[in-house]
Chain A
Amino acid sequence: MSNCSGIVISSLDVTFRSENERLEVLKNFSITIQKGEYTVILGPSGCGKSTFLRILAGTLQRVIPTCEVKGNIEIKLCQGDKEYKIGLAPQSYSLVPWRTVLENVLFPKILTTNKITDQDRERATSILEMLGIGCFGKTYPSELSGGIAQRASLARALFTESDLLLLDEPLNAVDLYERERIQSLLRNYTQKKGITTIHVTHDIYEAAFVASRIILMTGRPGKVHSDICLSPINRDLLFRESKTYHALIAQLRATFNSWTDNYIKPEDWGGQ
């Protein structure tokens, strides 16, 4: 692998251990992600999507100290020895309650340097405006609705000029109209800046729209089921009407349906 070509993960096993139980979350998980790719990780609940994000963020062992991680993880996203920067939008939003929305967007910088310039403030404000929540800059998180809090959390992830953007179901609480607008914005913004993005979701419509590549994961223990690469067409309203988009959704839905074929059907209840 050349100096800054991307992420290589090979034969990754992650096991959560409790006193008398072992839970295999990821098993023999291998993936190579090119720098600048917009990868969507799609899969059923509990298949290890968030665990994979935590591995990339380097937070897994801190959050779940009893987990076992085996395998090879190589992340090269910067020239030379420079450490890659992360932008993270966690599933739980995790806004800092004593900071306003604007300060929350600035928080990665407040946390690590505590030196905020007027330029930083301007940039944070423009990101909030871009996400349609510019008027909430002075509001405290406890006063926000779920959808707005989630967009604030996404704004914070975008504020860090990151090499690796990690999004854990970043739009699931956002209303449909805004969700579609932000999906297109996310795809075009990250493509323009060349940011490697890993976007976790279980929404097949979102996956089909934003991704340059979709990794479909199986249920627990999570493995790569299929790897779908998509053409780099502009993501706009026209794409949402296109045959490519609808065919992709049909393909994803068919795969999901095939997994649930063996489930007990309503007509089988009661041993009939």
Chain B
Amino acid sequence: MKKLRLSHPRGIGAWIPAIITFVVFLIAWEGLIRVAKIPPYLLPSANALFTRMWRDIDQLLRNLALTTASTMAGFFIGSVVGWSSSMIFSLNRTFERAFYPYFIALKSIPIVVIAPMIALWLGTDLAGRIIVVALSTFFPILVNSLKGFANIENGLLELAVAYRATPRQIFFRLRLPGSLPYLFAGMKVSAVLAVVAALVAEMMGADSGLGFILTVSIYRTDTEALFCVTVLSAALALAIFGLVVLLERKGFPWIQGVLLNKSMEV
């Protein structure tokens, strides 16, 4: 029996348009610099950028590794704490009423304001940076998962009540798995925020990491180094985002189908 497939095209074929766009972008970049004669301190050529990257590869990779470590650790902590908090909130409405408004208030404080405070209290070594990343990733995951725990289909709830399931069974076997699509949606938003937060934390006087290179290159008007950091941090954000997508597709293949069905209903 042939199964109905509702998934996006996957494998190499799916990447071809993106690769073509990238090649065209590189050609346009080189072309623009040559035709408009843009000086290298404003916009280095792709060629110069890759040469520089190759020359400083050891230093760049060392700092990238540090940024990756704080991003991943903070992202992991933020996700776990965010999801657990949403679970506690949905189990106990009093908790939610007591804390949620303040969490929303905290959420509205930009990370560039929080980061110097954390640097002041905890320093700018790895622990401080991890806390900054965790704080910025925590909120989207909390808000999304909370929606997930509440958004159980009425029919499923009705079924559970008819089959005389206890509130505990309803929570662990319906609400908890039902919150996963929302958890992953929150994690995808947070993956990008995590890299931003790590860079900001490193810019608050740290002596290592991509954020540190960024600060130094701004002072020295070292445009090439600035671009190196841009490329690497974008790659890092993409990699973490990809990791979340991979985990979702391999670990919970049913989520894709649920999301597709939802978007078709709209």
Partner of B155, one of A93, A111, A143: A93
**Alpha-carbon distance A136/B4, docked complex (angstroms):** 11
Partner of A142, one of B162, B173, B180, B258: B258
User: Do residues B161 and A111 form an inter-chain contact, with CB atoms below 8 A?
Assistant: no
With CB as the reference atom, state the residue of chain A lying closest to B3.
A143
User: Do residues B165 and A63 form an inter-chain contact, with CB atoms below 8 A?
Assistant: no
User: Do residues A90 and B254 form an inter-chain contact, with CB atoms below 8 A?
Assistant: no
Give A9-48 interface residues, CB cut-off 8 Å to B: none
With CB as the reference atom, state the residue of chain A lying closest to B165.
A111
User: Do residues A142 and B261 form an inter-chain contact, with CB atoms below 8 A?
Assistant: yes
Q: What per-residue 1/0 map shows which CB atoms of A154-197 lie under 8 Å from chain B?
A: 00000010000010000000000000000000000000000000
Q: Which residues of A contact B165 (CB under 8 A)?
A: 111-112
**Alpha-carbon distance A270/B153, docked complex (angstroms):** 44
- The answer to the question of A115 belonging to the interface, with a C-beta cut-off of 8 Å to chain B, is no
- The answer to the question of A221 belonging to the interface, with a C-beta cut-off of 8 Å to chain B, is no
User: Do residues B159 and A90 form an inter-chain contact, with CB atoms below 8 A?
Assistant: yes
Q: Which residues of B contact A88 (CB under 8 A)?
A: 158-159, 162-163
- The answer to the question of A245 belonging to the interface, with a C-beta cut-off of 8 Å to chain B, is no
With contact pairs A140-B253, A140-B254, A142-B258 given, residues A160 and B163 touching in the complex (Cβ less than 8 Å): yes
**Alpha-carbon distance A62/B162, docked complex (angstroms):** 10
In angstroms, how far is the closest chain A Cβ from the Cβ of B154? 6
**Alpha-carbon distance A71/B260, docked complex (angstroms):** 45
User: Do residues A98 and B155 form an inter-chain contact, with CB atoms below 8 A?
Assistant: no
Residue in A92, A110, A144 whose Cβ sees the most chain B Cβ within 10 Å: A92
User: Do residues B4 and A97 form an inter-chain contact, with CB atoms below 8 A?
Assistant: no
User: Do residues A94 and B158 form an inter-chain contact, with CB atoms below 8 A?
Assistant: yes
Comparing A51-59, A119-127, A211-219, the segment that makes contact with chain B is A51-59
**Alpha-carbon distance A111/B161, docked complex (angstroms):** 11
Q: What per-residue 1/0 map shows which CB atoms of B233-266 lie under 8 Å from chain A?
A: 0000000000000000000111111101100000
User: Do residues B4 and A62 form an inter-chain contact, with CB atoms below 8 A?
Assistant: no
**Alpha-carbon distance A272/B256, docked complex (angstroms):** 56
Partner of B3, one of A63, A97, A139, A141: A139
Q: How many A-B residue pairs have CB under 8 A?
A: 83
With CB as the reference atom, state the residue of chain B lying closest to A88.
B162
User: Do residues A94 and B3 form an inter-chain contact, with CB atoms below 8 A?
Assistant: no
- The answer to the question of B19 belonging to the interface, with a C-beta cut-off of 8 Å to chain A, is no
Q: How many A residues face the partner with a CB closer than 8 A? A: 32
With contact pairs A62-B161, A112-B165 given, residues A90 and B4 touching in the complex (Cβ less than 8 Å): no
User: Do residues A111 and B252 form an inter-chain contact, with CB atoms below 8 A?
Assistant: no
- The answer to the question of B177 belonging to the interface, with a C-beta cut-off of 8 Å to chain A, is yes
User: Do residues A86 and B158 form an inter-chain contact, with CB atoms below 8 A?
Assistant: no
**Alpha-carbon distance A54/B180, docked complex (angstroms):** 29
With CB as the reference atom, state the residue of chain B lying closest to A133.
B1
User: Do residues B180 and A111 form an inter-chain contact, with CB atoms below 8 A?
Assistant: no
User: Do residues B177 and A98 form an inter-chain contact, with CB atoms below 8 A?
Assistant: yes
User: Do residues B156 and A96 form an inter-chain contact, with CB atoms below 8 A?
Assistant: yes
User: Do residues A97 and B258 form an inter-chain contact, with CB atoms below 8 A?
Assistant: yes
**Alpha-carbon distance A93/B159, docked complex (angstroms):** 10
Q: Which residues of B contact A139 (CB under 8 A)?
A: 3
Q: Which residues of B contact A112 (CB under 8 A)?
A: 163-165, 169
Partner of A143, one of B4, B156, B158, B164: B4
Residue in A88, A94, A142, A160 whose Cβ sees the most chain B Cβ within 10 Å: A142
With contact pairs A63-B154, A112-B165 given, residues A142 and B260 touching in the complex (Cβ less than 8 Å): yes
Q: Which residues of A contact B177 (CB under 8 A)?
A: 98
Cβ-closest 10 pairs across A and B? A142-B257, A94-B155, A57-B162, A92-B155, A108-B163, A59-B161, A88-B162, A59-B158, A135-B1, A98-B254
A-side residues, CB < 8 A to B, are 54, 57-59, 62-63, 83, 86, 88, 90, 92-94, 96-98, 108, 110-112, 114, 135-136, 139-145, 160, 166
The 19 sampled A-B contact pairs (Cβ below 8 Å) are A54-B158, A57-B158, A58-B161, A62-B157, A63-B158, A83-B164, A88-B158, A90-B155, A94-B159, A97-B254, A97-B258, A111-B169, A112-B165, A135-B1, A136-B1, A140-B257, A143-B4, A143-B257, A166-B162
